[in-house]
Amino acid sequence: LAKTTQPISMDSYEGQEVNITCSHNNIATNDYITWYQQFPSQGPRFIIQGYKTKVTNEVASLFIPADRKSSTLSLPRVSLSDTAVYYCLVGDVGTGANNLFFGTGTRLTVIP
């Protein structure tokens, strides 16, 4: 089971780019990296998923170095509504093994 480690909390001002890094030193060859966002009193919401290099969608970018032992979620120009907890998961797409286990998450607070 590839354990993930994230910072417990981060603060950022509105309009700044925020980068949240997740460490997963024991990532396996078939593992993908998935990020979720959770607002208070809601279930987590999928943000982005990737295997290597860079993935970008309308919400965020995910940077994964060649050794894949870490990944960075990048949120461009955050707003107050981006205040949430962000979770990094690592698991096997296809078999789904271990892709269901949430770590501690990073609590992002966006400051006006």
Partner 1 sequence: SAVISQKPSRDICQRGTSLTIQCQVDSQVTMMFWYRQQPGQSLTLIATANQGSEATYESGFVIDKFPISRPNLTFSTLTVSNMSPEDSSIYLCSVERDRGYEQYFGPGTRLTVT
Q: CB of 12: closest distance to partner 1 in angstroms?
A: 21
Sheet harboring 84-92: ordered strands across?
Answer: 9-13, 106-111, 84-92, 31-38, 45-50
Q: How far is CA 97 from CA 65, 81, 94, in A?
A: 23, 32, 8
Q: Give the per-residue contact string, 6-25, with partner 1 (x = CB under 8 A; - = no).
A: --------------------
Q: Which residue has the tokens 């060649």?
A: 66
Which residue, among 61, 58, 63, has the nearest Cα to 22 in the 3D structure?
63
Q: Give the per-residue contact string, 47-86, with partner 1 (x = CB under 8 A; - = no).
A: --x-------------------------------------
Residue 34 binds partner 1, judged by CB under 8 A: yes
Out of 44, 52, 61, 83, point to the residue binding partner 1 (CB under 8 A): 44
Q: CB of 54: closest distance to partner 1 in angstroms?
A: 18
Distance CA 102, CA 90 (A): 9
Residue 46 binds partner 1, judged by CB under 8 A: yes
Applying CB under 8 A, which residues contact partner 1? 32, 34, 36, 41-46, 49, 87, 91-97, 99-105
